[in-house]
């Protein structure tokens, strides 16, 4: 170990006291990378992240830092950004706080990596990209689902031509989020207040943008219907509050090349499917259903001949004709994989295409989805120029 060259990368981690920031980014990514001895470049070289936790509440920060084994934490973001020992800024705050903090980090010359959505408007998200580009800093946005085992298997099927010509994609995402009246909710209350940056359209259409763009074709237009199915919930303080944002979204997308995609996203649905996310892809030569970690396929040659007759029990075992795609790829935590790629980008200047521009595209689709809902019409998605 004494002969190993170590590239220390100081990372200001802002907003990691929340669920995603704590679990996926701090514990399962940065601390997991540290515990494995860093990001391996070669037998004699590695990258070691060194986090500084930043937040507004010391009562949360101090115990989190202690339990995670992180030495440094602070409630002073400006002081952290002024510290030359920390060259990367990471933001996992609530969406409506992100733009101002990322702008500060860019002005301080820090490389930027942040959660999505990067902003609540396309104009602000695109401005972050242009500011980062002008500053010459490296930048990236979390697009974790691309490294999920189930989606990696889908990508392998696409790359090997399994589907033939892809016709359609159907996604089902969501689960029942308890309202807080009798059972504690699994998501924070700000998710259900539009004034605090909440809403499932803003949250999930950012995900569907990078999934669709990277796997199936660029999104060209959207038709989206949102809904606030549950109008009152109970907050962390035990008091009821009015839900002002959408808790379900029913969206159809036209993709480049003629593929049609439809995603139902809901926090008001009970799960009777294989996982919290399922995606069915149908093509001329075969179909697949992917979950977060698994994938099953049915080739054209194994497709049953179905006949409609509701007067008798159906003789076809619709589940029996599918085969599981084997685990041929070694898959790590999706957030950790992208963190390692970004750290290599910072230290080694390796390519990293998931930039703030890609983040702006996600915000754009969410904004156009909201516009579609308001207009009750199809809305085109103009190209955001690099």
pLDDT score of 109: 98
pLDDT score of 197: 86
Start-end of H helices in 69-148: 77-81, 95-107, 122-135
Contacts of residue 30, Cβ cutoff 8 Å, sequence gap at least 6: 11, 13, 49, 51, 339
CATH number listed for the domain at residues 5-144+334-354: 3.40.50.720
Q: How many residues does the chain have?
A: 386
Structure tokens at 182: 């009798």
Q: What is the DSSP letter of 166?
A: E
Q: How many helices (H) and strands (E) does the chain have?
A: 10, 18
Taking only the tens place, the pLDDT of each residue in 173-212 is 999 999 999 999 999 999 999 998 899 999 999 999 999 9
Contacts of residue 129, Cβ cutoff 8 Å, sequence gap at least 6: 139, 355, 356, 357, 359, 360
Note the pTM of the prediction, 2 decimals. Answer: 0.93
Count of CA atoms in the C-beta half-sphere (13 A) of 155: 16
Q: Confirm if 333 and 28 have CB atoms less than 8 A apart.
A: yes
Taking only the tens place, the pLDDT of each residue in 208-245 is 999 999 999 999 999 999 999 999 999 999 999 999 99
Residue 89 pLDDT greater than 90, yes or no: yes
Taking only the tens place, the pLDDT of each residue in 247-272 is 999 999 999 999 999 999 999 999 99
pLDDT score of 2: 66
Specify the CATH architecture of the domain 146-331+364-380: 2-Layer Sandwich (3.30)
Task: Calculate the alpha carbon distances from 83 to 10, 108, 130, 131 in Å.
Answer: 10, 9, 24, 21
pLDDT score of 329: 83
pLDDT above 70 covers a percentage of the chain that reads 99
Domain with CATH 3.30.360.10 in the chain: 146-331+364-380
Q: What is the DSSP code string of 261-284?
A: EEEEEESB----SSSSEEEEEEES
What's the CA gap between 4 and 384, in Å, rounded?
43
Burial of 121 (C-beta count, 10 Å sphere; 0-12/13-18/19+): middle
pLDDT score of 1: 54
Residue 292 pLDDT greater than 90, yes or no: yes
């Amino acid at each position: 170990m004494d002969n190993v060259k170590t590239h220390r990368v100081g990372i200001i981690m802002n907003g990691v006291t929340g669920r995603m920031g704590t679990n996926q980014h701090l514990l399962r990514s940065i601390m997991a990378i540290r515990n494995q001895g860093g990001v391996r470049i070669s037998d004699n070289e590695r990258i070691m992240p060194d986090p500084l936790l930043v937040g507004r509440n010391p009562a949360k920060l101090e115990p989190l830092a202690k339990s995670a084994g992180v030495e440094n934490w602070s409630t002073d973001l400006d002081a952290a950004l002024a510290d030359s020992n920390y060259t990367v800024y990471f933001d996992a705050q609530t969406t409506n706080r992100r733009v101002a903090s990322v702008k500060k980090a860019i002005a301080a010359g820090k490389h930027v990596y942040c959660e999505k959505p990067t902003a609540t408007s396309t104009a602000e998200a695109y401005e972050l990209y242009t500011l980062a580009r002008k500053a010459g800093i490296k930048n990236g946005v979390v697009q974790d689902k691309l490294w999920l085992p189930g989606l990696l298997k889908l990508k392998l099927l696409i790359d090997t031509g399994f589907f033939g010509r892809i016709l359609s994609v159907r996604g089902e995402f969501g689960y029942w989020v308890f309202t807080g009246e009798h059972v504690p909710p699994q998501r924070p209350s700000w998710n259900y207040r539009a004034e605090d940056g909440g809403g499932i359209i803003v949250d999930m259409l950012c995900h569907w943008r990078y999934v669709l763009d990277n796997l199936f074709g660029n999104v060209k237009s959207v038709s989206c219907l949102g809904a606030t199915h549950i109008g009152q919930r109970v907050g962390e303080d035990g008091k009821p509050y009015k839900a002002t944002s959408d808790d379900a979204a029913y969206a159809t997308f036209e993709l480049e090349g003629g593929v049609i995609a439809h995603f139902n996203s809901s926090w008001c649905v009970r799960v009777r499917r294989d996982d919290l996310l399922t995606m069915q892809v149908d093509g001329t030569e075969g179909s697949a259903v992917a979950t977060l970690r698994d994938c099953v396929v049915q080739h054209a040659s194994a497709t049953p001949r179905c006949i409609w007759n509701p007067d008798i029990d159906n003789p076809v075992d619709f589940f029996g004709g599918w085969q599981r795609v084997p685990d041929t790829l070694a898959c790590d935590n999706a957030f950790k994989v992208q963190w390692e790629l970004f750290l290599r980008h910072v230290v080694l200047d390796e390519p990293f295409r998931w930039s703030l521009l890609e983040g702006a595209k996600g915000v754009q689709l969410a904004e156009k989805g909201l516009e579609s809902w308001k207009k009750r019409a199809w809305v085109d998605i103009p190209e955001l120029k690099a």
